[in-house]
Amino acid sequence: MSKVKILNDPVYGFISIPYGIVFDLVEHPYFQRLRRIKQVSLTHYVYPGALHTRFHHALGAYHLTCQAIDVLRSKGTEITAAEAEAVGIAILLHDIGHGPFSHTLEHTLINITHEQLSVMIMEKLNQEFEGKLSLAIEIFNNRYHKHFLHQLVSGQLDMDRMDYLNRDSFFTGVSEGVIGYDRIIKMLAVHNNHLVVEEKGIYSIEKFLIARRLMYWQVYLHKTVLSAEQMMIQVLRRAKMLRHRGIKLGVQGSLNYFLENTFTQQDFSKNKSILLDRFASLDDTDIAFAIKGWQNHFDPVLSFLAKSLISRRLFKLEFQDQAPRQDDINFIRQKIEKQFPFSKDVANFLLIVGKETNTAYSTSKEEILILLKTGEVKPMSLVSNHGIQPKMFTKHYLCYPKEIIKE
Amino acid sequence: MSKVKILNDPVYGFISIPYGIVFDLVEHPYFQRLRRIKQVSLTHYVYPGALHTRFHHALGAYHLTCQAIDVLRSKGTEITAAEAEAVGIAILLHDIGHGPFSHTLEHTLINITHEQLSVMIMEKLNQEFEGKLSLAIEIFNNRYHKHFLHQLVSGQLDMDRMDYLNRDSFFTGVSEGVIGYDRIIKMLAVHNNHLVVEEKGIYSIEKFLIARRLMYWQVYLHKTVLSAEQMMIQVLRRAKMLRHRGIKLGVQGSLNYFLENTFTQQDFSKNKSILLDRFASLDDTDIAFAIKGWQNHFDPVLSFLAKSLISRRLFKLEFQDQAPRQDDINFIRQKIEKQFPFSKDVANFLLIVGKETNTAYSTSKEEILILLKTGEVKPMSLVSNHGIQPKMFTKHYLCYPKEIIKE
Amino acid sequence: MSKVKILNDPVYGFISIPYGIVFDLVEHPYFQRLRRIKQVSLTHYVYPGALHTRFHHALGAYHLTCQAIDVLRSKGTEITAAEAEAVGIAILLHDIGHGPFSHTLEHTLINITHEQLSVMIMEKLNQEFEGKLSLAIEIFNNRYHKHFLHQLVSGQLDMDRMDYLNRDSFFTGVSEGVIGYDRIIKMLAVHNNHLVVEEKGIYSIEKFLIARRLMYWQVYLHKTVLSAEQMMIQVLRRAKMLRHRGIKLGVQGSLNYFLENTFTQQDFSKNKSILLDRFASLDDTDIAFAIKGWQNHFDPVLSFLAKSLISRRLFKLEFQDQAPRQDDINFIRQKIEKQFPFSKDVANFLLIVGKETNTAYSTSKEEILILLKTGEVKPMSLVSNHGIQPKMFTKHYLCYPKEIIKE
Amino acid sequence: MSKVKILNDPVYGFISIPYGIVFDLVEHPYFQRLRRIKQVSLTHYVYPGALHTRFHHALGAYHLTCQAIDVLRSKGTEITAAEAEAVGIAILLHDIGHGPFSHTLEHTLINITHEQLSVMIMEKLNQEFEGKLSLAIEIFNNRYHKHFLHQLVSGQLDMDRMDYLNRDSFFTGVSEGVIGYDRIIKMLAVHNNHLVVEEKGIYSIEKFLIARRLMYWQVYLHKTVLSAEQMMIQVLRRAKMLRHRGIKLGVQGSLNYFLENTFTQQDFSKNKSILLDRFASLDDTDIAFAIKGWQNHFDPVLSFLAKSLISRRLFKLEFQDQAPRQDDINFIRQKIEKQFPFSKDVANFLLIVGKETNTAYSTSKEEILILLKTGEVKPMSLVSNHGIQPKMFTKHYLCYPKEIIKE
| Residue D56, domain member (yes or no) | yes
Q: What is the mean pLDDT of residues C230-234?
A: 97
User: Chains with 3 or more CB pairs closer than 8 angstroms to C?
Assistant: A, B, D
Would the pLDDT of C1 be above 50?
A: no
Residue A174 contacts B, CB cutoff 8 Å: yes
Give the chain D residue nearest B197 (alpha carbons).
Answer: D1
Beta carbon pairs, A and B, within 8 Å: 100
**Residue B320: φ, ψ to 5°:** -145, 155
For residue A277, the surrounding DSSP H or E stretch is helix A272-280
Task: List, for residues B314-332, the tens digit of each pLDDT value.
Answer: 999 989 989 999 999 999 9
Q: What is the mean pLDDT of residues A143-151?
A: 98
Q: Are strands D393-400 and D316-320 parallel, antiparallel or unpaired?
A: antiparallel
Q: Which of the four pLDDT bands, split at 50, 70 and 90, describes residue B384?
A: confident
According to DSSP, the residues that pair with C355 across neighbouring strands are: C396
User: Chains with 3 or more CB pairs closer than 8 angstroms to D?
Assistant: A, B, C
Tell me the chain C residues in contact with residue A189 when contact means C-beta distances shorter than 8 Å: 1
| Residue D258, domain member (yes or no) | no
Which domain, by its residues, includes D72? 4-222+368-391
**Contact check, Cβ <8 Å, D172/C13:** no
CA neighbor of C243 nearest in space, from C308, C307, C302: C302
Residue B175 contacts C, CB cutoff 8 Å: yes
Residue C25 contacts D, CB cutoff 8 Å: no
User: What's the confidence (pLDDT) of residue C214?
Assistant: 83
Give the chain A residue nearest D174 (alpha carbons).
Answer: A180
Nearest CB to A48; choose among B56, B174, B250: B56
DSSP assignment string, B46-71: TSTT---BHHHHHHHHHHHHHHHHHH
DSSP A315: P
Residue A310 contacts B, CB cutoff 8 Å: yes
C181, C197 Cβ separation under 8 angstroms: no
How many domains does one find in chain B?
Answer: 1
User: What's the confidence (pLDDT) of residue B1?
Assistant: 46
Task: List, for residues B116-126, the tens digit of each pLDDT value.
Answer: 999 999 999 99
**Higher pLDDT, residue D79 or D109:** D79
**Contact check, Cβ <8 Å, B1/D186:** no
User: What's the confidence (pLDDT) of residue B41?
Assistant: 96
Determine the residue among D172, D185, D206, D207 to mutate to test chain A binding: the one whose Cβ has the most chain A Cβ atoms within 10 Å.
D207
Residue D393 contacts A, CB cutoff 8 Å: no
Give the chain B residue nearest D375 (alpha carbons).
Answer: B1
**Contact check, Cβ <8 Å, A178/D180:** no
CA dihedral in degrees (A44, A47, A51, A55; nearest 10)?
-110
**Contact check, Cβ <8 Å, A285/B286:** no
Beta carbon pairs, A and D, within 8 Å: 34
Tell me the chain D residues in contact with residue C7 when contact means C-beta distances shorter than 8 Å: 48
**Contact check, Cβ <8 Å, A186/C1:** no
Would the pLDDT of D175 be above 90?
A: no
Cα separation of the two ends of chain A:
71
Residue D6 contacts C, CB cutoff 8 Å: no
DSSP A197: E
C3 burial (CB, 10 Å; 0-12 / 13-18 / 19+) is exposed
**Contact check, Cβ <8 Å, D175/A174:** no
Taking residue D130's Cβ as centre, other Cβ atoms within 10 Å add up to 8
d(CA C133, CA C122): 7
Would the pLDDT of C101 be above 80?
A: yes
Tell me the chain A residues in contact with residue D175 when contact means C-beta distances shorter than 8 Å: 178-180, 183
Tell me the chain B residues in contact with residue C386 when contact means C-beta distances shorter than 8 Å: 213
d(CA B236, CA B248): 14
Tell me the chain C residues in contact with residue A186 when contact means C-beta distances shorter than 8 Å: 2, 6, 14, 16
Task: List, for residues C361-407, the tens digit of each pLDDT value.
Answer: 888 889 999 999 889 999 998 887 666 665 678 899 999 999 887 65
Would the pLDDT of C319 be above 50?
A: yes
Residue B173 contacts A, CB cutoff 8 Å: yes
CA distance C290 to chain A (A): 42
Decide: helix, strand or coil at residue A14.
strand
DSSP C158: -
The region of weakest confidence among A193-207, C57-71, C129-143, D221-235 is A193-207
Percent of chain A scored above 70 by pLDDT?
97
How many residues are given for chain C? 407
Tell me the chain A residues in contact with residue B35 when contact means C-beta distances shorter than 8 Å: 44, 48, 312
pTM listed for this prediction: 0.89
B56 burial (CB, 10 Å; 0-12 / 13-18 / 19+) is buried
CA distance D379 to chain B (A): 18
CATH code of D104's domain: 1.10.3210.10
Determine the residue among D7, D30, D285 to mutate to test chain C binding: the one whose Cβ has the most chain C Cβ atoms within 10 Å.
D285
**Contact check, Cβ <8 Å, B179/C178:** no
| Residue D264, domain member (yes or no) | no
Determine the residue among A169, A186, A214, A373 to mutate to test chain D binding: the one whose Cβ has the most chain D Cβ atoms within 10 Å.
A214
pLDDT, mean over chain B = 93
Task: List, for residues A284-313, the tens digit of each pLDDT value.
Answer: 999 999 999 999 999 999 999 999 999 999
User: What's the confidence (pLDDT) of residue A1?
Assistant: 45
Would the pLDDT of A122 be above 90?
A: yes
pLDDT, mean over chain C = 93
Tell me the chain B residues in contact with residue C204 when contact means C-beta distances shorter than 8 Å: 176
Residue C23 contacts D, CB cutoff 8 Å: no
d(CA B161, CA B172): 16
Nearest CB to A183; choose among C2, C14, C75: C14
| Residue C279, domain member (yes or no) | no
| Residue C123, domain member (yes or no) | yes
d(CA B35, CA A46): 12
**Contact check, Cβ <8 Å, B186/D3:** no
Residue type, B178: V
| Residue B307, domain member (yes or no) | no
CA distance D3 to chain B (A): 7
Q: Which of the four pLDDT bands, split at 50, 70 and 90, describes residue A388?
A: low
Task: List, for residues A213-222, the tens digit of each pLDDT value.
Answer: 888 888 999 9
CA neighbor of C381 nearest in space, from C156, C154, C161: C156
Tell me the chain C residues in contact with residue B174 when contact means C-beta distances shorter than 8 Å: 180
Residue B293 contacts A, CB cutoff 8 Å: yes
CA distance B311 to chain A (A): 5
DSSP D393: E
**Contact check, Cβ <8 Å, C32/D252:** no
CA neighbor of A34 nearest in space, from A120, A115, A81, A96: A96
Nearest CB to A198; choose among C2, C75, C189: C2
Nearest CB to B48; choose among A55, A252, A285: A55
Determine the residue among D2, D72, D74 to mutate to test chain B binding: the one whose Cβ has the most chain B Cβ atoms within 10 Å.
D2
Residue B74 contacts D, CB cutoff 8 Å: yes
| Residue B256, domain member (yes or no) | no
Tell me the chain A residues in contact with residue C2 when contact means C-beta distances shorter than 8 Å: 75, 186, 198
Task: List, for residues B267-307, the tens digit of each pLDDT value.
Answer: 999 998 899 999 999 999 999 999 999 999 999 999 999 99
CA distance D61 to chain C (A): 14
Residue C165 contacts A, CB cutoff 8 Å: no
| Residue C200, domain member (yes or no) | yes
d(CA A380, CA A368): 5
Task: List, for residues D241-290, the tens digit of each pLDDT value.
Answer: 999 999 999 998 899 999 999 899 999 999 988 999 999 999 999 999 99
**Contact check, Cβ <8 Å, A175/D180:** yes
DSSP assignment string, C251-281: --HHHHHHHH---BHHHHHHTHHHHHHHHHT
Q: Which of the four pLDDT bands, split at 50, 70 and 90, describes residue B406?
A: low
CA neighbor of D227 nearest in space, from D101, D407, D350: D350
